[in-house]
Structure 1
């Protein structure tokens, strides 16, 4: 019953995001290298095909957590790299105070996320999540929707030291992330409007040949990662971009022509289906 309720709730939240879609959609991720993997590469191109012009910002600090971003915000530290994608061009604007990034555009959507090694440990979310919610809402425009980015589990052979927290077990890490995000969303149900199930999309794709396919660009593919935790440059990043695209626009990526250079139509379709299935069922793996 709880799972059915949450799926319905997620559908309503996703509808709330997509209902506001207009010709130009301004999206800011506050995160780290995992938000870099998610929004800086293929999301703009998907929007272009769908006639949605994305202005994409990434408030980036490598390895940074919710409490880390809050500490920077509170101290007005000039530590956050501001990456921006406008007209399809990705530019690193340099380092700014987080406040200045949040107020640079009238963002339609802003997302938060936890650092990957702590994403499955709900006790690490607070007080950072509450503080960041209050901070972003105080600075953002009234119509802004605030969401949460659900990140992915590491590859089974990952050497990331944080993997030890999950007994070096990929599915345990994935399940822990799902549980933690579920609890965070329930606690902040009046503050967080939606979440983006990137972790589920990647786990869905790991049920297919995508998990070990060698693409034409010969990108490293360790279960859709390039190093055991960051997404690989072609398939991994494309799957997650498709997931963001559908949550933000309400449009399925299945059948879209936009895909990374060198990625076959068949593999792109599998990636699109993995993302779409995650949006439909964000809390559980769907074999593709």
Structure 2
């Protein structure tokens, strides 16, 4: 009888140790992503660590980012650094080559400056050159294209679609940039797309959840601290500076937009289900957050 009890105890100890090791391996799982981008990739990754934490992923993000940085500017920094190793340190005192060598990255992302995203002539040869550099130092990394979003419907200045030409509205900017991103992905060997731009457009044109401009707000007559109703906006929109100057940013993502983009990255980069995410920014309502999770879960990255 005592022998049987000892056997049972031994089995239980083995099972417990196996479960403990499994739990440890889950909590220790790491995933490393290098973002070659600008403020839009910063927006997209803002809440990604919180989401990854829920999935027990130790997310390590590398940031090769400069505000308003185009593919050409990224590549120019490489050329400058090649000529003089003390220059071209564009990313917090480091070169792109140094960042590529600093870790074994699981994923490296590329994107175009949003203002140029609808103009195909601005993509090459810079993207191809960057691709070759990435492959030189990270041959096993998955390289992905981040499809950035069009500006908010009430924007004044739209993205470039060609030499001397600009999009007329949100839809044209989305269509032109989308076409360019998919063409780039195909030219670079069938790279995967992170469709943040499609998710933004889906929400921004939804019959129930779309942002609608507050027609009662007249910017040049606004008195501090008056602001418009920006319900369901994915972009920063209007804000007041400390010196009571009214600013307008229809381009960058606000907390809801960062959340949506993060959910898209959570699905397409980390391979997780957005509908299981519990975290949300405090400023985003429960109902809107649920709609954003559903949108990220249903968006299609293929070109149609």
Q: TM-score range by the shorter chain?
A: 0.7 to 0.9
Counterparts of 1:106 and 1:134, CA distance in 2: 16
Residue 223 of structure 1 deviates from its aligned partner by: 3.9
| Equivalence map 1:47-126=2 (5 Å) | 47-76=52-81, 77-81=87-91, 94-126=92-124
Counterparts of 2:276 and 2:106, CA distance in 1: 26
Contact 1:120/1:173 (CA < 8 Å) preserved in 2? Answer: yes
The corresponding residue for 1:138 is 136
The corresponding residue for 2:252 is 230
Contact 2:158/2:166 (CA < 8 Å) preserved in 1? Answer: no
1:80 partner SS: coil
Using the size of structure 1 for normalisation, the TM-score is 0.77
Q: Deviations over 1:16-65 (max 9, x none)?
A: xxxxxx911000110111111111x2000101111111101221111111
Using the size of structure 2 for normalisation, the TM-score is 0.73
Higher-Rg structure is: 2
Contact 1:212/1:224 (CA < 8 Å) preserved in 2? Answer: no
Structure 1 pair 229–132 and aligned structure 2 pair: CA distance change class (3 A): same
Residue 203 of structure 1 deviates from its aligned partner by: 0.8
Range 98-107 or range 158-167, more displaced: 158-167
Counterparts of 1:229 and 1:188, CA distance in 2: 27
Question: Structure 1: 5+ residue runs without aligned partners?
Answer: 1-21, 82-93
Structure 1 pair 47–151 and aligned structure 2 pair: CA distance change class (3 A): same
1:244 partner SS: helix
The corresponding residue for 1:177 is 177
Q: 1:25 and 2:31 equivalent? A: yes
Contact 1:114/1:125 (CA < 8 Å) preserved in 2? Answer: yes
Structure 1 pair 162–185 and aligned structure 2 pair: CA distance change class (3 A): closer
Alpha-carbon RMSD across the aligned residues, in angstroms, is 2.4
Alignment coverage as a number of residue pairs: 242
1:229 partner SS: strand
Question: Structure 2: 5+ residue runs without aligned partners?
Answer: 1-27, 82-86, 215-227, 237-248
| Equivalence map 1:146-165=2 (5 Å) | 146-160=143-157, 162=159, 165=165
Counterparts of 2:145 and 2:263, CA distance in 1: 16
Contact 1:200/1:282 (CA < 8 Å) preserved in 2? Answer: no
2:74 partner SS: helix
